[in-house]
């Protein structure tokens, strides 16, 4: 995958990449198949300039190491409130966790809360927040900082916000194409929490409801890479997903019923380790652990306040489903 990376993606100037492209040297692999003499003959670039280009290329093809200190990091990223009690410790590092639910139920609130909590309390060194639908709100993040965590010191808020790195990609393909750059950022900024809000939204925007070969290939590439990044760097990956209707078959068409289930299909469900599902029942907002290798299915009522999502602990119960 690294060898197929275009030279433009590794930060070379447009003048240099255009000059190389004129001689059909477009990808890292194209560059590496030629020695310095061949490169000089083709491009006319000096030995010093080619040495500089080679240094930049090598930064992207050298295996990225992981410091031993990362192995000593906490096994969970936490909310620093009752959610951690409900989740038996928080969101597991090394895993992919999905927040699913219909619009307006608080998926983004959970993401903002988790991002600021870990940026504030130093449980991870940095947070990468990939906002694919424009739902990220800096003012809402400040509300959570003040009302949930009681932070009123401007300098402390600023230092916490500086540890959250925001990226707004335009398409699923752009995320897939930038996976190498994401890995570099993870190492450089010591990222311990990666959030994608929302996976369901960006797939729906790019492909609609259609399931084609291109969508499947991009989803498979992204899912496997996220899984590997989470494992290799011991970081927590959190993604949000919307819901879709599932029509239950019946002997008569008039009796057909539909239920809401997480979107993206069963193949995506196999890639994630845990799922927290937000839904409405009996006019109450409810959060259910519907998939987890660590804890049983549980349901709890919650509300959304100025400080984010608040658990109503007295309602915690085992799932009846």
Q: pLDDT tens digit string along 300-319?
A: 999 998 888 988 865 544 44
The pLDDT score that the predictor gives to residue 129 is 97
Band (203; pLDDT cuts 50, 70, 90): confident
Mean pLDDT, rounded, of the chain = 83
Q: pLDDT tens digit string along 176-194?
A: 888 878 887 888 888 999 9
Residue 48 CB: number of other CB atoms within 10 A? Answer: 8
The pLDDT score that the predictor gives to residue 73 is 57
The fold for domain 68-318 equals: Rossmann fold (3.40.50)
Domain chopping of the chain, boundaries: 7-61, 68-318
Q: Which tokens in the block code for residue 250?
A: 């019946």
Q: Which tokens in the block code for residue 89?
A: 């410790």
Q: pLDDT tens digit string along 73-98?
A: 557 888 878 888 888 888 999 999 99
Q: pLDDT tens digit string along 156-180?
A: 788 888 899 999 998 888 998 888 7
Q: Which one is predicted more confidently, 291 or 47? A: 291
The pLDDT score that the predictor gives to residue 316 is 46
Beta bridge partners of 195: 129, 238
* Separation of alpha carbons 9 and 60, rounded Å: 10
* Separation of alpha carbons 284 and 224, rounded Å: 36
What mean pLDDT do residues 277-293 have?
Answer: 92
pLDDT above 50: residue 321: no
pLDDT above 90: percentage of residues in the chain: 27
pLDDT above 50: residue 273: yes
Residue 103 CB: number of other CB atoms within 10 A? Answer: 11
pLDDT above 50: residue 12: yes
Residue 197 CB: number of other CB atoms within 10 A? Answer: 26
E strand or H helix that includes residue 100? strand 96-101
Q: pLDDT tens digit string along 105-160?
A: 999 999 999 999 888 865 567 899 999 989 999 999 988 888 887 776 677 788 88
Specify the pairing of strand 284-291 against strand 274-281.
Answer: antiparallel
pLDDT above 90: residue 59: no
Q: Which tokens in the block code for residue 215?
A: 């969508």
- DSSP assignment, residue 311? E
The pLDDT score that the predictor gives to residue 318 is 46
> Poorest-confidence range of 48-52, 59-63, 65-69, 107-111?
65-69
Band (206; pLDDT cuts 50, 70, 90): confident
pTM, 2 dp = 0.75
Band (256; pLDDT cuts 50, 70, 90): low
* Separation of alpha carbons 161 and 115, rounded Å: 9
């Amino acid at each position: 995958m690294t060898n197929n990376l275009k030279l433009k993606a590794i930060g070379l100037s447009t003048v240099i990449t255009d000059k190389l492209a004129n001689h059909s040297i477009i990808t890292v692999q194209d560059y590496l198949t030629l020695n310095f003499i061949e490169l000089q003959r083709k491009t006319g670039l000096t030995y010093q300039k080619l040495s500089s280009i080679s240094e930049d290329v090598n930064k992207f093809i050298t295996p990225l190491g992981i410091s031993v200190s990362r192995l000593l990091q906490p096994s969970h990223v936490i909310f620093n409130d009752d959610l951690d009690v409900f989740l038996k410790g928080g969101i597991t590092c090394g895993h992919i966790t999905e927040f699913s639910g219909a619009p307006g139920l608080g998926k983004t609130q959970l993401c903002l809360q988790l991002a600021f909590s870990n940026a504030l309390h130093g449980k991870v060194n940095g947070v990468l927040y990939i906002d694919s639908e424009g739902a990220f709100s800096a003012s809402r993040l400040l509300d959570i900082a003040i009302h949930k965590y009681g932070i009123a010191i401007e300098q402390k808020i600023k230092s916490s916000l500086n540890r959250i790195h925001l990226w707004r990609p335009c398409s699923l393909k752009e995320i897939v194409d930038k996976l190498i750059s994401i890995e570099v950022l993870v190492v450089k900024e010591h990222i311990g929490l990666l959030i994608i809000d929302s996976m369901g939204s960006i797939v729906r925007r790019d492909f609609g409801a259609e399931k084609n070969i291109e969508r499947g290939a991009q989803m498979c590439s992204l899912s496997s890479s996220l899984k590997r990044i989470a494992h290799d760097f011991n970081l927590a990956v959190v993604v949000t997903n919307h819901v879709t209707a599932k029509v239950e078959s019946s002997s008569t068409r008039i009796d057909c019923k539909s239920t809401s289930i997480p979107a993206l299909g069963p193949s995506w469900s196999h890639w994630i380790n845990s799922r927290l599902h937000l839904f409405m029942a009996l006019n109450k907002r409810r959060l259910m652990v519907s998939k987890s290798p660590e804890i049983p299915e549980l349901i709890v009522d919650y509300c959304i306040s100025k400080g984010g999502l608040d658990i109503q602990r007295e309602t915690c119960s085992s799932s009846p489903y």
